[in-house]
Structure 1
Amino acid sequence: MPEPGLASRVAAIAAEAGRLAMARWETEFRRWEKVPGSPVCDVDLEVDALLRQRLGALLPDAGWLSEETADDRARLSARRVWVVDPIDGTRDYLRHRPGWAVSVALVDDGAPVIGVLDAPARSECWTAEAGKGAWRGDARLHVAARDRLAGARVPADQLPKVDSDLVMVAKPNSIALRIAMVAAGEADLLATIRWGNEWDVAAAVLIAREAGAAITDALGRPLAFNTPSGQAFGVLASAPGIHAAAVERLADRARDVLKA
């Protein structure tokens, strides 16, 4: 378990990073694509540097895995690792939409034990500590009590015809915030069926889990963190009562992706 008071210190560092991102949001900054379809900007790098300095001082023995830092495989031998996305939802940040957040997780022996999403454009701070629940500000989070997949609320811009029995709700660009919506009972299901990065979801997975959500990969398998690849095949976060049905519905599609 994390040391007493560590989670609040992590939240304060994430809030400092959020303030930096907000201060730069109204200014001119350089932007480009790391690879086609993967935008990045100067602010991502500035926030990443701040987080690495502050979190590194907090736990000097911890490893580091971040979207905006070259991967150092030495993290694989560390018991504790910071898993960070300095701005999750960069597209919304660049479009001046509020659906982005600073995402910070502390992973201990492959599992997140502290998770923070600081979303200053939404005036929100989401926090969780293993075994101590999940919170948005001072409000404790609880997943929705849903037991039928039909009618489940999904953060999405569009849904395939086969999923027309589901209900779309507003979708922030940040996948971490979409998972957090499940934690808050504002959505019932979030699913991806593609390879994704640990830094996108580590903090949000703990927040959802501590709120009572069921969390697996796209095939219903447990998620692990600080893996050699730093990736997982999809994420499925849902109300517990519909998780098995969601896995069953997505299984063939997920296997087709893996075969491709």
Structure 2
Amino acid sequence: MRTAEDLADDLAIAVGSSEIFAVFQPQVSLESGSIVAAEALCRWSHPELGDIDPVTMISVAERSGVIHALGRRMLDECLDMLAEWRRTGRDWAVAVNVSPRQFDDDSFVRHIAAESARRTLAPGSLVLELTQDLLPVDERAVLPQLRALREIGVEISLGGYGEGSPSLERLRHLPLNEVKLPGHLVRSAEPQALDALRADVEAAHAQGLRVVAEGIETLTHLDIAKRLGCDRAQGFLIREPDAEITFP
């Protein structure tokens, strides 16, 4: 049985190999129905253990410090994919999850700026997603880096919005472009819950933020997202995560 230390060693090696790869789940505009972006999801196919649960992978990466190399690997894959999409006429954005630990690296913002410029990517094409439960206790600790990212055209998304987490008022000082409603909230059919979510969406729009509904699995869920006033949606109904990027 492999220990946590063994997995950390395996992951450190895997980051430089094809064991680590990205899959992409599209987001559609609820106004036009067209694909406008895709979220990049990191996957690890271990040669002995098979597919490693993403939560386990990220936990191992953060505890061991491999998160910096893993995060950079994912960012570079996303930037390469953006360049490929542009080459083939797909004017999409890509969203990639980042860990607060990555902001500890002084070269984090510089690397994104240099690699984006090298590929001459359009502003707004790269979206970095944070989750509220992973933000530092004092969000202002990452504020200088977030502002620097915004200055070079990177957009900032915040996941976990609307689930009894910090209010939008508390997060007002963060330079956000987008918030994401978790799937389990979007799929709720309780009228009272939907009224509260609709108020959250309206509050986000009042601050000029885009709202993405996650976890859309049925036409009913899609209808809920539309009735809530969300701008975009993603989920298995639209497309499962895909490494081949064969979207129409």
Do they superpose with TM above 0.5? no
Q: Which structure's residues are more often helix, by fraction?
A: 2
TM-score norm. by structure 2 comes to: 0.28
